[in-house]
Amino acid sequence: TGQQWAISFTRMLIEQWLKLWDMRNEQRHGKDEAQRKQARRQVLINALSELYQYKEKVCPMDRNIFDTSVNDHFANHKSLDRIEDWINTYSEAIKNSARQAEQMGITNNHSIQEYLTSNPIS
């Protein structure tokens, strides 16, 4: 009957969707602990790289939260948990600072502290 066919077809669609979902999760998050760690590291690298694109666009006084580069950030913050915490803590603040700097017309400006690296008198 039509009702049995619809039930059977719906069940088959759900089963296929679940298989696809599992494949996606394994690809994104890994099958075992080593792959999950590598996948998490890659997700964090991508998120951190995105935030570091704002480094010269944020207000000058906010640039001190950044390390020199993404690689330096990973070197200085060894654990993935610390890096993820940093991303979660500063992500919105970085984006808001970049918007504020753009509104104020101070993107790419530098803090006066960057110019005072040495004393020209001594």
Query: What is the tens place of the pLDDT at every residue in 60-69?
Result: 888 889 999 9
For residue 113, the model assigns a pLDDT of 66
Give buried/exposed letters for 77-110 (b at 16+ CB in 10 A, else e): beeeeebbebbeebeeebeebbeebeeeeebeee
- Asked if the model's pLDDT at residue 97 lies above 90, the reply is yes
Rounded Cα–Cα distance for residues 77 and 50 (Å): 17
pLDDT band at 52 (very low <50, low <70, confident <90, very high): very high
Of the pLDDT bands very low, low, confident and very high (cuts 50, 70, 90), residue 120 is low
CA–CA separation, 47 and 28 (whole Å): 14
Please report the DSSP string for 18-72 in residue order: HHHHHHHHHHHH-SSHHHHHHHHHHHHHHHHHHHHTTTTTS-GGGGGGS-SSHHH
**Residues 10-34: tens digit of each pLDDT:** 999 999 999 999 999 888 777 888 8
The answer to whether the predicted template modeling score (pTM) of the entire model surpasses 0.85 is no
Cα–Cα distance measured from residue 31 to residue 46, given in angstroms and rounded to the nearest whole number: 20
Q: How much is the pLDDT for 115?
A: 63
